Structure 1
Amino acid sequence: MALLLRNPALRSNLPRELLTACTISLSSRNFSVLNRPPPNYEGHIPLTKLEKAGLAIGSAVGSLINPYRGDLIAALGEATATPYFIYRLRDAMLSSPTGRRILRDRPHISSKTMSLEYLRSLPANTVGRTYADWLDREGVSPDTRSSVKYIDDEECAYVMQRYRECHDFYHALTGLPIVREGEVALKAFEFANTLLPMTGLSMFAVTTLKPAERKRFFTIYLPWAISNGIKSKEVINIYWEEELERDVEELRNELGIEKPVDLREIRKKDRARRRAEKEARERSSDSLGIN
């Protein structure tokens, strides 16, 4: 059966349901660390069930302690995506004509495949310019996404890679910044839209937020995330490379995504308010000292 699945000609003649069942069966087959099967694609690292459980627990704890550890978040996503959730996301792509084209074309998002200079030259209301402006404002690059290693099925590994590379587009589309508060809000949206367990587990980082930030999350951004994530179309099916010159508001309307309240503006006003209150207290203290 393993030889059958690795033969592209034979794979193409199998019904997809049978192919998926066989792939899950083979990927969940027991093996030992001393008798590890060969990789299914470049960079693939086959893991036993026990190893995947350890990876999930360790990466979950580590990413909660330091939510800026992208490598741990990536490992958590892969360790918890199988056996069901990544197949559900893959099937969502297969049910969409655009999703099927993405799976066929296998595009990748990086500074090599997408000219940032070109995106910066686009009109301000376009998807591409919105994306480039967001990257520049946040000081990040599309080249920081690590490669998938721990998902056994090659096609599902690409689905996870595609989700990972599109993450910054979700940021740009919603306007949410990469500060911890913004990441938690976006993960809540992604969980409602994709059902990937990692996005739901990442929301536990809300416990590390300041009281005012937690209050904003539960009163503003969590209700927005749930409502928009559920009602909007599957964001994994957006062929971003074909949408760059499109009006960003038009795309939001088509997807059914309402842009949330500007978190950076809220945080800016909150800092200004605290600074004014501090200065007022200092003036009051100085006045009392003089008297």
Structure 2
Amino acid sequence: MRPARLISSRQLAQLARPAVCVPAETPLHQHIRAFSVLNRPPPKYEGHVPLTLLEKGAMTLGSAIGAFIDPRRADLIATLGEVSAGPVAQRLRDTMLGDPVGRQILRDRPRITSESWPLDELLAMPKNTVGYVYGRFRQRYHMSPDVRDEVRYIDDVECAYVIQRYRECHDLYHAVLGLPPQYVEGEIALKAFEFVNTGLPMAALSLVAVARLKPAERQRFFSIFLPWALRSARRAKPIINVYWEKELMTDAAELRERLGLEKPPSLHKLRMKPKKATAAPTAAPTPAAAPTTPLPEQPTTA
């Protein structure tokens, strides 16, 4: 028979100590580490990157400066739009939820890609339809919807789709409104329109690119295109609620009228330099005829 072990005084003190219980009402979040660079929550959708407020502020400033230096950096413009969206993306989603067409878009979540919108099918549609106008736009300017970046920095899944939808529809606004993308003043004019119509701060931040315009372009922007953007965007219906996939066979002019969109003046014609009037060539002076000496009169014969 094994001898019984004696309990030490330390073990007796531990047994005598009252048990400490965590109250049931203690909130669990007190035991969870705060969101930081080293402690990121899991992504909420594929490609999602959660950011701290400090990171969002730094990326907002950096992308805004980079986009101002080079307005053709679509990646910087996309990043700027996401990190600066904030509660505006939620308001834009609420705008869609308050419209039957917008709600259907949120349910279906269609995507605009070269696979879902083949270029050859768009160009086969009747002329002046939305599909043909958009296809001709893609063909003329060598644009592809596949180059649009995926949303990564929007935390809410539904709001992320709203920003993705807005981003993919941008070229449709160019095509239907007739604003060529190769001119900076046309791009800024469309951003001004989008800011008034959608309220997205990224569109307003893009207006700082006005400082890069030449004097003639700046004068044209403030006298023609900015008044157009303010006037047309206020009268138009929310363009985020357009189900473009169901409007491809609609006449573009009819759709503009239904949405209250005013087509701006042609930027191509405004930028055409007037031809210099060339003076008509003057005829070369003819040399003066040499004086002729009169011949002596010949005697007439009877």
Scaled to the shorter chain, the TM-score interval is 0.7 to 0.9
Paired amino acid for 1:126: T
1:155 has 2:158 as partner: yes
**Secondary structure of 1:241's match?**
helix
> SS of the residue aligned with 2:164?
helix
Question: Which of 203, 210, 217 lines up with 1:206 in the alignment?
Answer: 210
Q: CA offsets per residue over residues 76-108 of structure 1, 9 Å max, x none?
A: 0001101x1001100000001000000000100
Equivalent residue in structure 2 for 1:94, among 90, 93, 97: 97
Structure 2 equivalent of residue 216 of structure 1: 220
* Alignment RMSD: 1.6
3-state DSSP of counterpart to 1:249: helix
Point out 4+ residue stretches in structure 1 off by more than 2 angstroms. none
Which deviations, in whole Å up to 9, do the C-alpha atoms of 1:34-64 show, x marking residues without a partner?
A: 0011000000000000000001000000000
Corresponding position: 1:166 with 2:172: no
Structure 2 match to 1:73:
77
Whether 2:143 is the aligned partner of 1:140: answer yes
Amino acid at match of 2:53: K
Instruction: Report the residue type matching 1:81 in the other structure.
Output: A
Measure the CA separation in 2 of the matches of 1:234 and 1:266: 28
**1:264 Cα deviation (Å)?**
1.6
Could you say what secondary structure the match of 1:129 adopts? helix
SS in structure 1 opposite 2:76? Answer: helix
CA distance in 1, matches of 2:187, 2:217: 12
Question: 2:240 is aligned with what amino acid?
Answer: I
Identity %: 58
Tell me the distance in 2 between the aligned counterparts of 1:135 and 1:188: 22
Would the alpha carbon gap of residues 173 and 31 (structure 1) be closer, same or farther in structure 2, given more than 3 Å must change?
A: same
Q: Deviations over 1:102-154 (max 9, x none)?
A: 00001000101112111101111100001111112222111110000000000
Structure with greater helix percent: 1
Q: Is contact 1:126-1:244 (8 Å) kept?
A: yes
The equivalent residue for 1:58 is 62
State whether residues 76 and 198 of structure 1, in contact with CA within 8 Å, keep that contact through their aligned partners in structure 2: yes
Kindly indicate whether the alpha-carbon contact (under 8 Å) linking 1:30 and 1:48 is maintained by their aligned counterparts in 2: no
**What SS class does the counterpart of residue 143 from structure 1 fall into?**
helix
Which residue number in structure 2 is paired with residue 185 of structure 1? Answer: 189
Cα distance in 1 for residues equivalent to 2:175 and 2:268: 13
Alpha-carbon distance in 2 for matches of 1:206, 1:100: 36
C-alpha separation in 2, matches of 1:172 and 1:96: 24
Larger Rg: 2
| 2:109 corresponds to 1:103 | no
Q: Residue by residue, what CA displacement relative to the aligned partner does 1:170-208 show, whole Å, maximum 9, x if unpaired?
A: 001110011211100100000010010000010110110
**1:46 and 2:42 matched:** no
Instruction: Give me the whole-angstrom Cα distance separating, in 2, the residues matched to 1:237 and 1:185.
Output: 21
Q: Which secondary structure state, in structure 2, belongs to the residue aligned with residue 60 of structure 1? A: helix
CA gap of 1:153–1:231, structure 2 versus 1, over 3 A, is same
Alpha-carbon distance in structure 1 between the residues aligned to 2:82 and 2:96: 18
Q: Which one-letter code corresponds to 2:215 in the other structure? A: P
Equivalent of residue 262 in structure 1, options 266, 278, 299 = 266
CA distance in 2, matches of 1:225, 1:173: 14
TM-score (norm 2): 0.79
User: Per the alignment, in what secondary structure is the counterpart of residue 152 of structure 2?
Assistant: coil
Aligned-pair CA distance for 1:259: 0.5
The offset of 1:265, in angstroms, is 2.0
What letter corresponds to residue 108 of structure 2 in structure 1?
Answer: D
Q: Deviations over 1:202-231 (max 9, x none)?
A: 011011000000001000000000111111
Matching residue of 2:13: none
Paired residues, number:
247
Tell me by how many angstroms 1:30 deviates.
5.5
